[in-house]
Amino acid sequence: MTDPSATFLLFGATGDLAHRMIFPSLYNLLSDGLLPDDFMIVASGRTEMDDEAFRADIDKALQKFVGADRYDAEVAARLKAMIGYQPVEAGKPEQFRKLAERLDGRAERGLSVYLSTPPSLFAPTAQGLAEAGLITPTTRIAMEKPIGKDLASSKEVNDGIGALFDESQIFRVDHYLGKETVQNLLALRFGNVMFEPLWNATAIDHVQITVGETVGLEGRVSYYDGVGALRDMVQNHVLQILSIIAMEPPARMDPTAVRDEKVKVLRSLRPMTAETVKTNSVRGQYSPGAVGGEIVTGYSDELGQPSDTETFVALKAHIDNWRWQGVPFYLRTGKRMPARQSEIQIQFKPVRHSIFGRAGGLEPNTLIIRLQPEEYIRLLIMSKRPGLEREVHLEEVTLDVSLTAAFAGQRRRIAYERLILDLLAGDQTLFVRRDEVEAQWTWIDSIIDGWKEAGVKPSPYASGNWGPSSAIALIERDGASWHD
Ligand code: BG6
């Protein structure tokens, strides 16, 4: 790692992500004294605007998204003083020249570029930077998803950026990796002695990963339709969680060791076929219903036309390696679910032999790791029900660790705070390497191709449900059930 970048250059600075996440994160970092001295933020977008107009706009966003309890006009003023706005449009070399003038030799002291634009602009933007002399060995570039819509297009994006930057300078963002609870999976698995010996096919029956959202399309028609839940959520966030749950222990917490182990898992995912998608996948699309007591419309009504895009997907995945042979990973994610709820369930196998005979309510152990909105770890274990009966009666009790309570004094960070800080410092551990993205797409493509070949269309589910009933059948066929 080198000195932190002295300049942060944001493309797509007038967009939603910049307002909701990136500037509030920079505000929090500044407020905690975590930004380098003499730091400069150059915001850029296509809109013509001067510094003052942009700063005023950001101030409004900070008041809205930082939270009333944290917003402090003095910190906001310091942040605004660091921000300059420069209109730049990809393909206009003159504007990139002006941008370079504005940076006035600062790129030499480390420049972190953040692309929060549509992916079609990634390569042209990088090209503009190169022509303006803004790419040096200390320039880093961060990219938001989606990186392509399949393996072929992701390779194009990666080639476009890779022609101008070394992989060690490229930071692919998956904001789930910035979440404290996702990083905590590493601490849970590798910072405790009791889980690792059991973390394999000998002791684990199956794993469930659920990422449920209550929101619908949210005015993201142009992006979401034609993309769908598989590409929007499984290709990145869900597979990143899966890779951390399933990976071998890395030798140390460094970018190469961690990502080497993750990519091995991703490459071990068994590809689906037109035959297996029929039993191992479910596509759904929300229809009218009620979420949290509110009546909501269906996807096609929001869209204004019928569509074949899935807003829900459930999958039964297999990881073909030694550790996970015969252990299914059930994955599901969807919009307009009954609750915003992301969690992992590790379902252990029954004890080998019950000394309690047929009596007694013996159940296999379950570990539940809730990622959001609450943060907790629950282990369901067997305990003797108190009483003088001659036959032992067992009952499930919960070992319950609330991380929210255990760390009550600590502010929960926006995922982007961690990621921006790591980008500035040049630490790639929590960013996705090219081979990971490509392994993710390889598996996702096998499902999409399978769906096409087998003609699998989304089945409707009433908003406020955990997907179509076939999603329940997907797991119950194997004698298990979703943890709702
Ligand atoms: C984004 C998806 O990557 O993640 C959105 O594009 C989704 O569709 C969002 O709503 C979920 O993120 P979080 O942090 O709210 O769970």
Residue 94: give its domain's CATH number.
Answer: 3.40.50.720
150 lies in some domain: no
The reported pTM is 0.97
Residue ranges in the chain modelled with pLDDT below 50: none
134 and 188 share one domain: no
464 lies in some domain: yes
352 and 404 share one domain: yes
What's residue 359's pLDDT? 65
2 lies in some domain: no
Task: Decide: 157 and 147 in contact? Cβ < 8 Å.
Answer: yes
79 and 134 share one domain: yes
157 lies in some domain: no
Residue 395 annotated as binding?
no
212 lies in some domain: yes
What's residue 114's pLDDT? 98
Which of 144, 160, 195 is at the close of a domain? 144
What's residue 409's pLDDT? 86
Domain containing residue 456: CATH number: 3.30.360.10
96 lies in some domain: yes
234 lies in some domain: yes
Q: Annotated catalytic sites, by residue?
A: 237
99 and 186 share one domain: no
11 and 140 share one domain: yes
318 and 464 share one domain: yes
417 lies in some domain: no
Domain around 292: 177-412+433-476
235 and 328 share one domain: yes
What's residue 360's pLDDT? 76
Q: Tell me which residue has its CA closest to atom 13 in ligand 1.
A: 176
Q: Is the CB of 232 under 6 A from ligand 1?
A: yes
188 and 66 share one domain: no
What's residue 37's pLDDT? 85
128 and 274 share one domain: no
185 and 104 share one domain: no
Q: Tell me which residue has its CA closest to atom 6 in ligand 1.
A: 232
260 and 324 share one domain: yes
Gap from CA of 232 to ligand 1 centroid (Å): 8
Closest atom of ligand 1 to 342 CA is 16
What's residue 222's pLDDT? 84
Mutate to test the pocket of ligand 1, among 232, 239, 370 (most ligand atoms within 8 A of CB): 232
103 and 241 share one domain: no
Gap from CA of 385 to ligand 1 centroid (Å): 43
Residue 145 annotated as binding?
yes
Q: How many domains does one find in the chain?
A: 2
Which of 144, 168, 197 is at the close of a domain? 144
What's residue 390's pLDDT? 85
